[in-house]
A and B are shown apart, each in its own frame.
Chain A
Amino acid sequence: MNGKIEVEHLSKTFKKGDVQAVKDVSFTVEDGEFFAFLGPNGAGKSTTVQILTTLINATGGKATVAGHDVIREPEKVRRYIGVALQETGVDPDLTGRELIELQANIFGFSKTEAKKRAEELLKIVQLTDSAERRIGNYSGGMRRRLDLALTLVNEPKILFLDEPTTGLDPSNRMAIWKELRRLNEENGTTIFLTTQYLEEADSLAHRISIINDGEIVATGTPRELKAQIGNDLIALTFSSKEEEEKAERILKEHMDPSDVILQNGKLTVYVEDGTKQLLELVRLLDQENIEVATVNLSSPTLDDIFLKITSEQAEKEGEVHGE
């Protein structure tokens, strides 16, 4: 048994609403790798997690988790994985300790083993002090941490975490990040994490796949992806449409045209070094008598990456169809 995830041409169409949530997705996560699935709302992240964790069936393709086919051998897959779904699944009437012990008992631990495991896990997620309280009274952050503890009960070879830090405050987020890093580095646990936060994927994952509208649009190490995107982003607005278009034309002449995107009255420019290039840009436009209304320098967000990647795709398709 290994901690590998292999996905080939996976698809899922929901009959209800005829939604194609996952479209021909393929990727491999190596044993011991920390892999992030980065994508916006509705991208298909949770659907993929649910297929890989045996909760729902794919409508096409094939997936192997820990060496077992998720469709043909779901019982075997369930033994080796730990799963924290996007919505935490806890019984609010039990205490934290009772729930962890129950989970351990279900995985075949004896009573004493289960008690011991609960004690260890409560300590790891820093819930020892609240262990005797009912989960219904836990805060969102505490529930998330308990959820993480529950996923670790069976010492899984592979962890699936669907947006484990969404909605958490920075200190809870840091606590979870720290624990995930430890699990991956010390225990060699393979981790499949989904997130909407670029910085989260960036700081945790060895490799990232960006998923948008059910399709993987880019895959690489954080460094590779960023190099593709540019480190900084300059957003410019102008007081007239003519100036906008003129500025776009001029900037496209002076740099890689795919780094210049005009959308909704905003001209976005991806650059290597924002502070240096900002001045050059403004000077260049000034020489052409174009008046800049506002300027904004920032780091790219997930939205910006999508904008860039999807516009590149559109351009490529345009070339293909145009010639």
Chain B
Amino acid sequence: MGNSVWKDTWLITLRSIKTTLRNPFSFIPNLMISAFFLLVYEGGLSGISQLPMFEGANYLAFILPVSIVSAAIGGAGGAGQGIVKDIENGFFSRLLLTPASRLAIVLGPIIAGMLQLFIQTLLIIGIAFLLGLEVETGFGGILFVLLIAIGWGLAFAGYSAGVALRTKNAQAAQAGTFIFFPLIFLSTTFVPYELIEAQWLKVAATINPTTYIFESMRTVLIDGWIFWDLMQGVIAIVIACTITITFAAVSAKKAVSRG
């Protein structure tokens, strides 16, 4: 009698995926907003890429990272929402009463959220290709963009799961997600750094890690393999993941403990 941690994680992840698929409204709005970035800004703003600072780059490739980060945040937010739902309807307690691995109980919804993120990112990239995306670094560049999306998503999943496990409250977890959305806009969202005029926005963009995520994605999409430009995104991810996953782990330990 009894399973390995892996078996438990597998069982609980499968069940999280099932419940996500049965609630299409948990992911469709976010997917639509992300696609909206691509369609609307590509259609409405692409003229500005004629400006010299864009150095002839195609606006679609410039705006794509915004769309991807938005999809990644939405997907990873599913991790926290899954956990909150389990806590609120008592299913979390039911799992705690079984011999299931405590790690699996927390990890299941997080893995499902990451999977959701992966599929949403693929869909967004697919749409971009349909709109005529060209990638400087080809297939390898797309893989790099996916990795960055997953890495940034993981950082956010850690954060959202941490908030969920700590507050055990759906509204609080939701509010926690909203904090992340302004980060998308307080950055080099629509125009390159050199074109930002407001001083305060320049400062915000400099301290906002999202900027480095955008920049490293844009580098491979538009300019090519420029090592240090790529690394800034990787470094931002490593730092963010370290912080949020520690936060999630500490919160998880508290939530499954019997204090």
Whether the Cβ atoms of B98 and A78 lie closer than 8 Å is: yes
Indicate the size class of the contact surface on chain B. 20 to 34
Stretch in contact with the other chain, from B11-19, B149-157, B184-192: B11-19
Let me know if A295 is at the binding interface, CB within 8 A: no
Task: Determine how close the nearest CB of chain A comes to the CB of B12; give it in whole angstroms.
Answer: 8
Task: List residues of chain B with CB within 8 A of the CB of A103.
Answer: 98
Contact of B97 with A91 in the complex, beta carbons under 8 Å: no
Q: How far is the CB of A97 from chain B (nearest CB, A)?
A: 13
With the chains together, A57 CA to B11 CA distance in Å?
28
Closest B residue, CB atoms, query A15: B259
Contact between B99 and A75, CB atoms less than 8 A apart: yes
List the B side residues contacting A92 at CB < 8 Å.
89
Q: A172 CA to B167 CA in the complex, in Å?
A: 35
The verdict on A54 contacting B258 (CB below 8 Å), with A78-B97, A89-B89, A90-B89 known, is yes
B2 within 8 A of A: yes
Instruction: State the Cβ distance, B161 to closest chain A Cβ, in Å.
Output: 18
A102-B11, A106-B3 known; A55 vs B98 contact (CB < 8 Å): no
Interface segment out of the listed A79-87, A233-241, A247-255, A256-264: A79-87
CB–CB B90/A93 < 8 A: no
Please report the C-alpha to C-alpha distance between residue A87 and residue B259 in the assembled complex, in whole angstroms: 20
With both beta carbons as reference points, the residue of chain B lying nearest to A85 in the complex is identified as B93
Indicate if A88 sits at the interface (CB-CB under 8 A).
yes
Which listed residue (A81, A83, A105) contacts B11, Cβ 8 A?
A105
Within 8 A of A (CB), among B106-163: none
A314 on the B face (CB < 8 A): no
In the assembled complex, the CB of B164 is this many whole angstroms from the nearest CB of chain A, namely 16
Q: Evaluate contact between A89 and B22: CB separation under 8 angstroms.
A: no
In the bound complex, what is the Cα–Cα distance between A89 and B90 (angstroms)?
A: 4
**How would residues 1 to 41 of chain B score, 1 for a CB under 8 Å from any chain A CB and 0 otherwise?**
11100001001100100110011000000000000000000
Asked if A94 is at the interface of the complex by the 8 Å CB criterion, the answer is yes
By the criterion CB–CB under 8 Å, are A94 and B18 in contact? yes
For chain B, residues 213 to 259, give those with C-beta under 8 angstroms from any C-beta of chain A.
Answer: 258-259
Within 8 Å CB of B259, what residues of A?
Answer: 56-57
Q: Is B181 part of the contact surface with A, judged by Cβ < 8 Å?
A: no
Give the Cβ gap from A305 to chain B, nearest Cβ, in Å. Answer: 31
Q: Is A190 an interface residue (CB 8 A)?
A: no
Contact partners of A79 in chain B: CB under 8 A:
1-2, 99
Chain A contact residue count (CB 8 A cutoff):
30
> Known: A57-B258, A106-B3, A108-B2. Is A91-B91 also a contact (CB below 8 A)?
yes
Tell me, rounded to whole Å, the shortest Cβ–Cβ distance linking A80 to chain B: 10
Question: Which B residues touch A107, using CB under 8 A?
Answer: 1-2, 98-99
CB distance from B205 to the nearest CB of A (A): 40
Q: Which residues of A contact B93 (CB under 8 A)?
A: 55, 85, 89
Q: Which chain B residues border A210 with CB–CB below 8 Å?
A: none
Say yes or no: is A150 at the interface (Cβ < 8 Å to chain B): yes
Q: How far, in angstroms, from A74 to B3 measured CA to CA in the complex?
A: 16
Check A93–B22 contact: CB distance below 8 A. Answer: yes
A-B contact pairs, 25 of them (CB 8 A): A56-B258, A56-B259, A74-B258, A78-B98, A78-B99, A79-B1, A79-B2, A81-B97, A85-B94, A89-B90, A89-B91, A90-B90, A90-B94, A91-B89, A92-B89, A93-B22, A93-B23, A94-B18, A98-B18, A106-B12, A106-B95, A106-B100, A107-B1, A107-B98, A107-B99
Given A54-B97, A89-B89, A89-B93, 17 more pairs with CB closer than 8 A = A53-B97, A54-B258, A75-B99, A79-B2, A85-B90, A85-B93, A85-B97, A89-B90, A89-B94, A91-B15, A91-B91, A94-B18, A102-B15, A105-B3, A105-B11, A106-B11, A108-B1
